[in-house]
Each structure stands twice: as C-alpha cells, then as structure tokens.
Chain A
Amino acid sequence: MTKDNQIKLPTYLEVPLIEKDSMAGNGPFKASKEIQQSLGFPGEKVDNWQQVAIDKMAETKSKYRSVQVFLDACVKCGACTDKCHYYLGTADPKNMPVARQDLFRSVYRRHFTFAGKYFPRLVGAKDLDEDMLDDWYNYFHQCSQCRRCAVYCPYGIDTAEISMAAREVMNVIGVGQKYPNQILGKVQKIGNNLGMPEPALKDTLEDLEDEIKDETGVDVKLPLDVKDSEVLMVTPSADFFAEPHIDGLIGYAKVFHESGVSWTLSSYASEAANFGMFIGNYDIMRQGALRIRKAAIDLNVRRVIVGECGHAWRVAYSFWNTLTGIGSGGSDDYSLRLQKQLDSNYPQPQHMIEFTYDLIQKNKLSFEKSKNDHRIVTFHDSCNVARGSNMGDIKNGQFILPREVIKAACNNFVEMPKNTIKSSTFCCGGGGGLLTDDLIKLRVKGAKPRMHALKKTEQESGVNTLAAICAICKSQFSKVLPNYDFDPYMIVSVHQLVSEAIVLSESSDTEV
C-alpha cells in the first residue's frame, strides 16, 4: 500500500530533537474582510495594530485570571516540552507548549513587566513587531487547545487559554483565521456550521428515517422543531451529513426510539459545536449558546441533550450555565425561568452518552452484541471531553461512561497504551479550529502520537475499530488514517456501535 505522505511509525514513541523552523510558514488562510466584519472585527489589519494589540492584551489579562497568572507563573521547567502532539509530530521547538506561550509571554514581559522593560534580553522579553505577529499567527494556529500540557504542568498552566487570548488579540487587530470565522458567520445567520437551512435539514432527516425503515423495518423518527417534546437534542451539524458521523445520529435516534422519550432537533439551533471558544471570544461564544437557550424555551422542552462533539460538550458542560443559565443554581431571570421549565431530576445539559448509559443501567436497552463481533474496538478519548468536562457527575465519569456504553454494545474492547488515554489522551490533530485543508500537513503530523498508540494496539490486539465521541476527531481520523496505513473506515461513532447492536422494538409506546 503506497500513498503520498505515508509515514512510517517507529516501534516506540520518540521525543524528537528540536528542528528549528520546521513548521515555519504563513499559517492557515486568513479571513476575508467580509468574514471579519460580519463578526464585528476590523476587516483588515488596523494601522496602529501594535497599540491596539497591547491594549487588548491588557484588557484580556485583566478579565481572565488564567491569562494573568499563567503569564507570570511559568518557571520554564520543561515538563510540558515533550507533551504536545504537534511538537512530537513536527519537532518544531515553537510547538513545545512553553515556547508557544512564550511567543505571547515575551511580549507581555516587554510591555507589562519591570524586568522586561529594563532588562529585555535577560528575561527574554520581545517587542511585538511584524515578525512576532507572523509567529503568533503561524504557531497559535498550530495549537488545538487540547490541554494535554496543562495536565503535566506543575502549576496547571493551560496553553489553550493563552492561544485563545492570542487569537482574540489577532482578531481585534483585524488578523483572523478564515476557517473558524467563516463558520461562525454561518452559525449566527443560519444556525449551524454548514449553513444548512431548515428545508435541507428536514429533507436529510426524512431520508434518514427512510433509510432506517428500509434497513430495520421499524419506524424510527428524527423529529425536527416539534414543540413540547421532552428532549431538545443539540448535535454537531456534521452528524447530519458526514461519514461516519451520520451513523452516530442514527444511533441516537434508535436509543430515543427505544427509550420512549419524545425528542426533537431544532432548525434554529442545529449546531452543538461552538467555534467561539476557539477564537477566545466570550461574546461570540455566548451568542452561539444563546441560540440553544432560545430554542429550548421556544420548543418548551424539559431536557437538553448534547450529541457526540468534544469541544461542544466542554462548552455545554462547563460554560452553558455561565453563558445562558442552562443548569442549576443561577438566580437571574433566565436561569430561574429555565430551572422552572427544565426537569430538575436530570443534570442540564446532559450528554447523549449519559442518556444512553442511564438506560443501560436501568436495563431498558437490549443489545445483540454479536453484531459487533467482527470488531475489535478501542476508544479514543477526545481531548476536550477528557480534560474539560465530566459525565455522570462521578469522578472520571467522562472516561467511564463512554467505555461502559461501548462494552454494552460490543464484546471485544481493548485499551490503547496508558499514557495515551483518559486525561493523558492525545488530540486527534485537528481540534481547536485546525480542521481545515490548508493545515493538512500539520494535521497529518499532529496525529502521529495517536496513530502510534493505535498501531501498537493493532499489533498487540488486532484492533480494527476506533470509536470516538467527537465530530472533529471523526473527520480528522477519516482523513489521516490512510497516511499511517490504516483503513479510513475504522473510525466510528460510539453511537454507531450502539446502533448496530441495539434491538429495536416495533413501536415506541413504552414508558413516559
């Protein structure tokens, strides 16, 4: 099997020696004037960009304790230097988490600290000039905000926070990245990242219903905009059209069918992914989340459930209560209204995995596990689920629940090496706004540590199926698996495994 970009994997994961500037370049495509302006950013680089950038840095560090503390606290111990998948895959020293932060920190020191103002060379302080800005643009778009470095940092310094801050500063001076910003425009106008309008979504869902009917003979519904449903399902829009994502969506539908719980998708809030997080903009992230709040209230649902999407789940689990009041404990008008409307017997929002897991615990789903016997399955912990969220409100639930769901549907489950799973999981290489073809080289190289772990597991236990619960992971793996001599179709949704093994009953008249 010969392919372009084929990468031979060593027998153990090596920490490469640094190769300076091996990933130097111009970075991903820049956003056009129209895209930038639609988000309220300047259309092109402003004249006094240095001053604007420094002012924005000052504002950001005064609004985010993380940024202020992380800029001060790093001692350059080097613990993080070999933890980033992009460093391991590219050997470019600026992809070491601390060196990436230092692009931002050196400017902070120069402009905001005594030592940097008077002894810049001594403490590595640098001016924000054209070269530095180019480095910012290039290397802050080689960070997938996966937070693996933060797990290993003795002070919990999270490079994601710094890269979000840097992207925010760049947007404010008019230097934005095309991929996330264009998508954010679509969400704000139409409601999902694809820009898929309501009629197209409706057609897609009807086609899927037909497909399930043909295959199983059972009327499994995928309802859209049905008022007074029990559950509002918010899922990444990739689930509506992309492979293998769509088979996961079919899985959700089958689980809902079996549960007897009425559910609906919303055409107004047809996107769980929130790219506002990638660019570090609180307001844009909030606007995305508010669409979901509005849909939940307009459709008068009792529960909000989120589909398989890593960053979406981090935003939903960790940020929605802050941004929108979906959750408990808030005392403002909206929070109170939501608390009255939403069912307090369940955490709000919930992950689809939590929903399915609960049904499995209550013996409400039956599986014909042998349907998955041709598979030897391993699970890729998606970075933002693993390190930025929880499931089931039990310690490490985000690791336990998906595995339990897989094991309920499959007989053959194996783990990848210990230092590459759970809180130590490697990013797929395409997260954080990097899932774009203009960054394909980076994406292939960044996947190397994960591919290495997978290769090892393949050799040891013959694994042939890689399950994930993130739309980005699924798209990224489909694309890069062949580069490492794997079958691109080995990546599946966890709910695809559920879908293939679940035993459907004729009608959904049980319960409620």
Chain B
Amino acid sequence: MSLTSIFFTFFIYISSLIFIVGVSYKLVQYWNTPAPLKIPIAPASLNTSGVFLRYLREIFLFSSLYKSNKWTWLFGWSFHFALILLFFRHLPYFWPGEVPLILYKTEVFKYSSYLLFFGLVGLLSRRLFVDRVRYISSPSDYLMLLVLIFITSTGMLMTFGNNHPNMLLVTNFASGLITFNWSELPKEMIFMAHIFPVFCLIAIFPISKLLHAPGIFFSPTYNQVDNARKKRHISDWALDKEQGSKIDIENNNEKK
C-alpha cells in the first residue's frame, strides 16, 4: 500500500475512534448530570407522547427555528435535509459485500448537493451580512461553514464535473475500512481533498458545537413532561441534602 493510503487509513480510523469515544463520553456525561428542577418550556407537553411529538417536530421540521426566523430556517433545514440524503447516497461505498438494490436507488440523491450548497451559502451570508449574527460569530463558526462548502464543492465537482475517481477503488477502499480488508486509495487529489475535511469534522465533533446533535435530546426544556404537581421530580443530590437534615415530623421542623 502507498504511504498516502496508509496515512488515510490511519487517519480515518483515528478520527472515527475520537468520534466514538468522545461522543460516548459526552453522552455519559449528559446522562449522569441530573436535572434537579422541572423546567419545560412553553408550549410544554403534559405527557410523554407530547414530548415525543415535540421532538419529531423539532428534529424533522425545526419548528422552533421556523417560528423564529424564516431565512435561517430555510437555509438550516435545507442543509440538514440534504445532509441526510447525501449520507444515504454515500452508504453504498461503505457497504461490505453485495449492496442491497435499494441503496443503489439513492443515486438520485446526488442532486440534493445543490440544496446543501444553497443552505450553506445562505448560512454563511447570514453570518456575514446580518450585524447581529456577525457579532456572535467566532472564527470557528465561519471555518466550519467554509469547510462544509469545500467538501460540498469537491463532491459536486467529482459527481457533476466529470472528475470521477475510479469507483471500484473508492468502494474497495471504503468498504475495506469496515471489513478491515484495507486497500489502495484512489490517487485523485480531488478525492483526497473531499474526504480529508470530512474526517476532520468527525474528529472535532465531540469538542465542538456539533454537539448540538446529541445535545438536543438532553435539553430539559424540551424533554421534560410538564407534570410537576402530579409527580415529584427530585435529583439525587437534592434528596441527599434532605436526608442529611434532621426531620422532626411531629413538630414540623427540619433542621440542619
């Protein structure tokens, strides 16, 4: 195997490992951090199915963002929707063995890269031209968008610009990563330029704002049922505190 192939193989494994370990660490951290008080935000759900529906609305439709700002919603939703379609579009490359027929049908999803590009450029324009959004943007916020635009552009150039790398090599390389049956990387620069930043983003996932993806599921304002009067909600540390104090229930006194 060439040095480049070895480098990329290592790089992809390491960034995937950072992703898995890092995100697991954050998930465990979020899971273990108690939410001591009931703080659901209006429109709060009075039961679990309400919470479930709320999440469906937020995750698939970005409903709060829609309420908030139509432009940001349009760009943000387009970007995320296209991202999902393109994830499936890339799945056949990684599929070990015979690829199910249905996955080949995702070929058509390649056109959603236009939507992806549109969304990203829109989001970047908001950062550049809306004074409020410019004020809150850090260099990393721009960088992330630029990197995503770069990834999109290289992908589109390969797909629509007759710069196809050898598809057999791509498939062997990608599925080889899954089956630990490593093989050579296509030599086209544009291909390497496409995948390198992807795995950079995967590596920084657990230490960046990309944590919004798991974060939303742990947001107490969204995931709590609004039933504080019906059910006593108490965290372990608060309970310890209560048990630490001397309760004289006959005389109705609680002393430290």
Contact = CB atoms under 8 A, between A and B. Distances in A.
Interface in A82-136: 82-83, 93, 96, 98-99, 102, 113-115, 119, 121-124
A325 B247 CA distance: 13
B41 A99 contact: no
Contacts of A98: 136
Contact of A333 (B126, B132, B133, B249): B249
A331 B190 CA distance: 64
A81 B219 contact: no
B64 A152 contact: yes
Contacts of B131: 17-18
Contact of B43 (A69, A394, A423): A423
Contacts of A393: 46, 229-230
A322 B218 contact: no
A68 interface: yes
Contact of B65 (A64, A79, A150, A330): A79
Most A-side CB within 10 Å, residue of B37, B58, B64, B208:
B37
Interface string B14-58: 000000000000100110011111110111101000100000001
B252 A65 contact: no
A322 B234 contact: yes
Given A113-B207, A298-B252, A321-B228, A69 B215 contact: yes
Given A73-B219, A77-B76, A297-B252, A65 B228 contact: no
Interface stretch (B95-103, B138-146, B152-160, B177-185): B138-146
Nearest to A116: B207
B41 A150 contact: yes
Contacts of A83: 68
Given A327-B228, A327-B229, A393-B46, A74 B209 contact: yes
Contact of A76 (B209, B218, B219, B229): B209
Nearest to A336: B249
Interface string A350-388: 000000000000000000000000000000000000111
A66 B39 contact: yes
Contacts of A64: 33-36
B188 interface: no
A96 B65 CA distance: 16
Contacts of B228: 317-322, 327
Nearest to A395: B46
A348 B242 CA distance: 21
Interface in B65-96: 65, 67-69, 72, 76
A59 to B, nearest CB: 10
B221 A158 contact: yes
B221 A81 contact: no
A390 B209 CA distance: 33
A398 B229 CA distance: 14
Given A99-B136, A282-B238, A77 B247 contact: no
B45 to A, nearest CB: 8
Contact of B219 (A17, A157, A398): A157
Contacts of B254: 290, 334
Interface residues of B, number: 71
Contacts of B130: 78
A319 B249 CA distance: 21
B7 interface: no
A28 interface: no
B36 A156 contact: no
B232 A325 contact: yes
A386 to B, nearest CB: 6
A302 interface: no
A199 interface: no
A320 B126 CA distance: 43
Given A74-B209, A423-B43, A156 B218 contact: no
A330 B227 CA distance: 13
A147 interface: yes
A160 B128 CA distance: 28
A322 B36 contact: yes
Contacts of B237: 63
Given A66-B39, A150-B41, A77 B30 contact: no
Interface of A: 15, 17-18, 61-66, 68-70, 72-83, 93, 96, 98-99, 102, 113-115, 119, 121-124, 147, 150-158, 161, 282-283, 290, 294, 297-298, 317-322, 325, 327-335, 337, 347-349, 386-388, 390, 393-396, 398, 422-423
7 interchain residue pairs of minimum CB distance: A73-B215, A124-B138, A330-B232, A156-B221, A78-B133, A152-B68, A423-B42
Given A123-B140, A151-B41, 13 more contacts: A17-B131, A76-B136, A79-B65, A124-B138, A155-B222, A156-B216, A156-B221, A156-B222, A319-B38, A320-B228, A322-B228, A329-B231, A330-B234
6 contacts: A69-B219, A73-B219, A75-B141, A115-B140, A322-B38, A329-B230
